[in-house]
């Protein structure tokens, strides 16, 4: 038995004895695997589980998802982040219905033709749903392979990345792609973790070159990340004087929080300290509201919100505001919403935090000025 065969069999045996019970594993249809893999991109399993279960209750199949309004899709996705994923799921569902009779393709090429489906996601669907011998290489698999093979070069570099995909493919035992690919991801998640890996409990430790050369902590090679770009917003939590409804505006289809809804806001160069006062920021926000045809009285500023995104460190300065006059028709990207309907809207994650913090479950002593 070759070393690679021993590694594969060791992983399979361990996985079948120790794998977690996860909702998408219990019924690994192509649709369920696809949705779960998109949700799991850069998102922890514990976070995804309740979102996945709510999603399946609302959109149990491709047809239901394709027929759903994008606002409903985004509302269920709200809080998961990386909202382009939800847009792509919705768009791809329509492609599947229109061009594949409502069933996801059962070939790699067919899967790769869908919007938002790259090499990893196609491989995951092909192997887990259809048991095809398609490799997958995600962060967990990269870590396992780099340590197992003692790979000391940058895994994101072209030649190294190509080598990792080749290794992942070569390790797949014939007819067992479904369990093997999941065993690689499971090992990386539960045993071969980024910090403090459980090498004593690893089923393939005797074949691990990083362990043999005392390089487990050094591999995979860590590349310094770029610093997050600071971004500052001033927003108005505008409430209609006569009805008590709140004003929401929709963000553009591309860019930050694409297609989601938020309180009217303006980007500012920086937010002043409390002692500096907020006249300039307040003026920029008032000007923006006036440009929308609103007559608004800006009230107190309340506590700032810090929201961390992949490449951005966002700070939001919210203001209380009352609208006394508004145009009768404000277009499809503007809506007035009742207080008890706010939580059901497809809000950006930052706006959802503001809604919870200042409107639905207001915390005491949050006012700054």
| Catalytic annotation, residues | 37
- Angle, vertex CA 100, rays to CA 95 and CA 104, nearest 5: 85
> For residues 285 and 119, what is the distance between their CA atoms, to the nearest angstrom?
44
Secondary structure (3-state) at 300: strand
Q: Examine residue 220 and say whether the peptide bond preceding it is cis (omega within 30 degrees of 0).
A: yes
Q: What does 97-145 look like in DSSP terms, one character per residue?
A: HHHSTTS--SSHHHHHTSTT--HHHHHHIIIIIH--------HHHHHHH
Q: Which of 160, 339, 331, 310 is nearest to 243 (CA)?
A: 339
Which tokens in the block code for residue 52? 């996945």
Strand partners, 250: 261
Strands 312-325 and 229-240: parallel
> For residues 316 and 358, what is the distance between their CA atoms, to the nearest angstrom?
13
Asked if residues 118 and 87 have their Cβ atoms less than 8 Å apart, the reply is no
């Amino acid at each position: 038995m070759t070393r690679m065969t021993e590694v594969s069999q060791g992983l399979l045996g361990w996985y079948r004895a120790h794998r977690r019970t996860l909702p998408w594993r219990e019924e690994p249809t192509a649709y369920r695997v696809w949705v779960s893999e998109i949700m799991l991109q850069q998102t922890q399993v514990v976070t995804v589980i309740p979102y996945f279960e709510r999603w399946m209750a609302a959109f149990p199949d491709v047809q239901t998802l394709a027929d759903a309004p994008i606002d409903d899709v985004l509302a269920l996705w709200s809080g998961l982040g990386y909202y382009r994923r939800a847009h792509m799921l919705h768009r791809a569902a329509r492609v599947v219905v229109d061009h594949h009779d409502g069933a996801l393709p059962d070939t790699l090429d067919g899967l790769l033709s869908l919007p938002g489906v790259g090499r990893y996601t196609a491989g995951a669907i092909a192997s887990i749903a259809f048991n095809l011998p398609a490799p997958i290489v995600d962060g967990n698999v990269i870590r396992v392979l780099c340590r197992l093979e003692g790979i000391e070069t940058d895994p994101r570099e072209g030649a190294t990345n190509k080598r990792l995909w080749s290794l992942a493919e070569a390790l797949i035992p014939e007819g067992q792609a479904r369990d093997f690919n999941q065993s690689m991801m499971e090992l990386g998640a539960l045993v071969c973790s980024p910090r403090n890996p459980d090498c004593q409990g690893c089923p393939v430790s005797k074949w691990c070159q990083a362990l043999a050369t005392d390089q487990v902590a050094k591999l995979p090679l860590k590349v310094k990340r770029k610093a997050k770009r600071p971004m500052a917003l001033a927003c108005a939590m505008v409430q209609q004087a006569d009805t008590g409804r709140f004003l929401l505006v929709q963000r553009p289809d591309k860019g930050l929080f694409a297609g989601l809804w938020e309180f009217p806001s303006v980007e500012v160069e920086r937010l002043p300290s409390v002692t500096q006062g907020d006249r300039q920021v307040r003026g920029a926000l008032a000007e923006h509201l006036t440009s929308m045809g609103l007559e608004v009285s800006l009230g107190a500023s309340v506590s700032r919100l810090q929201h961390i995104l992949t490449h951005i460190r966002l700070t939001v300065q919210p203001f209380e505001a009352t609208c006394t006059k508004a145009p009768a028709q404000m277009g499809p990207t503007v809506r007035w919403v009742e207080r008890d309907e706010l939580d059901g809207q497809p809000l950006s994650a930052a706006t959802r935090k503001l809604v919870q913090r200042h409107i639905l479950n207001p915390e005491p002593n949050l006012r700054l000025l």
